[in-house]
Chain A
Amino acid sequence: MRVALSVACFEDVLFPGTAKAVTVLLERLGHEVAFPPGQTCCGQFHWTAGYHREAAGLARSHAAAFEGCEVVVAPSASCAATVRADYPKIARAARDPGLARAAEGLAFYELTEFLVDVLGVTDVGAYFPHRVTYHPSCRSLRTLGVGDRPVRLLRSVRGLDLVELPSAGECCGFGGAFAMKNADVSVAMVADKVRHVRDTGAEVVCAVDDSCLAHIGGALSRLRGGVRTMHLAEILAETGPA
């Protein structure tokens, strides 16, 4: 299958390893990966911050960048959620039925949904001999409802010791502009999240959203927490020594 990759704007710059891992992984599974060059940003940040006019502009060009693609895969649950759940709302707010139609025409998947539902695989042939815990991000959990797909994928990774995260479903406190506008509350939230992560004794905390990982990782780094953050795709792309 020819899979178009949607890479979040900040992921492109700060976490290029995630999209590289998705590329490597999908190619290993025998698919052709494309990176439509017109893409910049899905508009989520502007939309949730209240800049609805700007969000509509970004949404239009983002949807146009993937026009005609058979299937689009995003390693960022929040971007996938924006396209699927928010574009209709952005279109409504901008009174732009064209955008609503364009969004409807896209087969836009979050990575684990694509692997499990479209490709029908949970064992992607990965090997990662580490103790790992998984943080279900809010957008993956509640907006997309990815459920246990990420966990099923992780369970099939050879060598991986999956440990459960206490209060896993609780928000890490990032929330886009929230982390800046309500920095104190945001920090109080991530402090609890980091405490739970460290309680697991895991070496690695993973998620399907680099935004939450940037937040959790940022707090861990400040604390010298001794725990790494990794996107789930990076774990799935690992095959260990040949």
Chain B
Amino acid sequence: MPRPKFAAAARPELADTRSRRNLRGATAALRGREAAAAAGTADWEDLREAGRAIGDGALLDLDAHLEELERAVTEAGGTVHWAADAAEARLVVTGLVRATGAKEVVKAASATTREIGLNDALARAGVTVRETGVAEMVVQLGEDAPSHLLSPAAHRDRAEIAELLRRAVPGAGPGLADDPEALAAAARTHLRDRFLRARVAVTGANFLVAETGTLVLLESEGNARMCLTLPETLISIAGIDKVVPTWDDMEVFLQLLPRSSTGDRMTPYVSSWTGVTPGDGPRAFHLVLLDNGRTRALADEVGRAALRCIRCSACSNVCPVYERTGGRPYGPVHPGPIGAVLTPLTRGVESAADASLPYASTLCGACADVCPVKIDIPDVLVHLRGKVVESRRRRPVPTPEMALMRGLAWTMGDPRRHEAAVRRGVRWARLLSRGGRIRRLPGLLGKWTEARDLPAPPAESFRGWWDRTRA
């Protein structure tokens, strides 16, 4: 079954009052903290500009930086694998896991593995995946889809999380309190022996430093760090857009990311790892570099700005649409405003679901205001809407919308045609109105009057008044 359009996927989410209340609470809290952190950083605008410039610079010579990265990783004893798309990435990772003979992997901090559908692929290969991030674990236990980029369980409240843990964690018992500390402790106990048992770990990475071949990961729980140190084999998977040229660039991002994602000045755990070190940590290290449409986005003059994204989720937290729908209607890849552009940029707008994403925004601009790397998301949305319309122009029979928009433009293209149409329209609209309001419009406009009235047009337009009184 094809994925539904955004509007259809949003409907059940809008009806889920509990999830809406939880999301509203979570985004409002984060929004407040982020705003305070930005306001408390004197050179915030300079930092944003630096982030934008580094991002653009990195993308400009992406191929050179990637080659440098591969060289550095290899020199440090790691192996680099290139994956053109999700299927190839799945194949590479399952192959690597199989080669170790492990039946279980621990996994942490990776939206990229979600993007390629790794869990299912490993399950099909007979390998059990254990999520180690508390929120991911909750999503896995609840058997639902993540709703937020950084806190995938933002739609769940503490009572629900406690219930899921009570059921899943042996020994957590019915007495498990639903305060955050008790929940985190229960999750940690649950995870501890898994870490000690695990022979293979799969992680993501926030940044890939080209000059040194170093991967950098920011997290608040410390669970990902366990994955980086305890297992024998470490497989890290990251999009090719995560490359930054030099270590110095991290100075900027290590300030921007925590402030924009959680409103903290620093991230509790910043881990960096480079290849393998004899006698310490994993004995084998694999880096899987994923394209999956990123070079396609890179080729788009306007759209490539979206590849600067550092996945802080600030845009989601201020987005009034996201606040009401959560992340799931945006599809399986990236939620929120950035997802509404990245998904169609990397996958194209051929499917109805992907083509609906650029319209999942009122273009209010709140996202662009907060983005730490200054991505003008509304600009990219409008650009992509243009692509959607262009792709529809080739159809032999125009859609009703296309016919309407073309007709409107033709009418408005000439003042006389326009005036005549206005006169006709006013007469017609007044016939539909009752007591000064229109409660039901026909055709495509009917969506407006499902829950809103339209004022009936007064008998005289401004033009008419002007001609009568001033001309």
Chain A contact residues, CB within 8 Å of chain B:
7, 9, 11-20, 23, 33, 35, 37-41, 45-52, 54-55, 57-58, 61, 89, 93, 138-139, 141-143, 169-171, 173-190, 214-215, 217-219, 221-222
Contacts of A179 in B (CB 8 A): 447-448, 452
A-B pairs with beta carbons under 8 Å apart, 18 shown: A13-B422, A23-B470, A49-B389, A50-B387, A50-B388, A51-B386, A54-B405, A93-B386, A138-B364, A173-B320, A179-B452, A182-B360, A183-B448, A183-B450, A185-B360, A188-B14, A190-B452, A218-B455
The interface stretch among B193-201, B262-270, B411-419 is B411-419
Contacts of B369 in A (CB 8 A): 142
Contacts of B445 in A (CB 8 A): 180
Is A184 within 8 A of B454, CB to CB? Answer: no
Once bound together, how far apart are the Cα atoms of A218 and B451, in whole Å? 8
Contacts of A138 in B (CB 8 A): 362-366
Most buried by A among B388, B412, B461: B412
Check: B114 CB closer than 8 A to any chain A CB.
Answer: no
Q: What mask results when residues 361 to 377 of chain B are scored 1 for a CB within 8 Å of chain A, else 0? A: 11111101100000000
Is B455 within 8 A of A217, CB to CB? Answer: yes
Is A58 within 8 A of B412, CB to CB? Answer: yes
If the complex has contacts A218-B448, A222-B453, are A40 and B425 also in contact, measured as CB distance less than 8 A? no
Closest to A85 in B: B379
Closest to A7 in B: B462
Once bound together, how far apart are the Cα atoms of A174 and B363, in whole Å? 10
Contacts of A139 in B (CB 8 A): 365
Check: B305 CB closer than 8 A to any chain A CB.
Answer: no
Once bound together, how far apart are the Cα atoms of A35 and B426, in whole Å? 21
The interface stretch among B3-11, B40-48, B75-83 is B3-11
Is B406 within 8 A of A143, CB to CB? Answer: no
Is B451 within 8 A of A219, CB to CB? Answer: yes
The distance from the CB of B10 to the nearest CB of chain A, in whole angstroms, is 5
Is A214 within 8 A of B320, CB to CB? Answer: no
Which 8 pairs show the lowest CB-CB distances between chains A and B? A175-B362, A50-B385, A218-B452, A54-B409, A171-B364, A142-B365, A50-B389, A16-B462
Contacts of A47 in B (CB 8 A): 382
Most buried by B among A48, A61, A176: A48
If the complex has contacts A13-B426, A58-B409, A143-B365, are A185 and B324 also in contact, measured as CB distance less than 8 A? yes
If the complex has contacts A11-B462, A19-B462, are A184 and B10 also in contact, measured as CB distance less than 8 A? yes
Check: B408 CB closer than 8 A to any chain A CB.
Answer: yes
Is A12 within 8 A of B14, CB to CB? Answer: no
Contacts of A142 in B (CB 8 A): 364-366, 368-369
Once bound together, how far apart are the Cα atoms of A195 and B463, in whole Å? 35
- Provide the main secondary structure of the chain A interface: helix
The distance from the CB of A183 to the nearest CB of chain B, in whole angstroms, is 4
Once bound together, how far apart are the Cα atoms of A142 and B418, in whole Å? 31
Check: B458 CB closer than 8 A to any chain A CB.
Answer: yes
List 12 additional contacts besides A49-B389, A180-B444, A184-B14; criterion CB under 8 Å: A9-B412, A12-B463, A16-B461, A16-B465, A35-B466, A48-B385, A58-B409, A58-B412, A58-B413, A180-B447, A185-B360, A188-B14
Closest to B426 in A: A13
Size bin of chain B's contact surface: 35 or more
The distance from the CB of B29 to the nearest CB of chain A, in whole angstroms, is 15
Check: B67 CB closer than 8 A to any chain A CB.
Answer: no
Is B11 within 8 A of A184, CB to CB? Answer: yes
Check: B233 CB closer than 8 A to any chain A CB.
Answer: no
Contacts of A38 in B (CB 8 A): 415
Contacts of A169 in B (CB 8 A): 366
Is B321 within 8 A of A182, CB to CB? Answer: yes
Check: B348 CB closer than 8 A to any chain A CB.
Answer: no
Is B363 within 8 A of A48, CB to CB? Answer: yes
The distance from the CB of A186 to the nearest CB of chain B, in whole angstroms, is 8
Contacts of B460 in A (CB 8 A): 16
Is B462 within 8 A of A20, CB to CB? Answer: yes
The distance from the CB of B16 to the nearest CB of chain A, in whole angstroms, is 12
If the complex has contacts A11-B462, A40-B413, A138-B365, are A54 and B406 also in contact, measured as CB distance less than 8 A? yes
Once bound together, how far apart are the Cα atoms of A61 and B462, in whole Å? 20
Check: B316 CB closer than 8 A to any chain A CB.
Answer: no
Once bound together, how far apart are the Cα atoms of A139 and B363, in whole Å? 9
The distance from the CB of A36 to the nearest CB of chain B, in whole angstroms, is 10
The distance from the CB of A61 to the nearest CB of chain B, in whole angstroms, is 6
Once bound together, how far apart are the Cα atoms of A180 and B450, in whole Å? 9
Once bound together, how far apart are the Cα atoms of A218 and B455, in whole Å? 7
Check: B457 CB closer than 8 A to any chain A CB.
Answer: yes
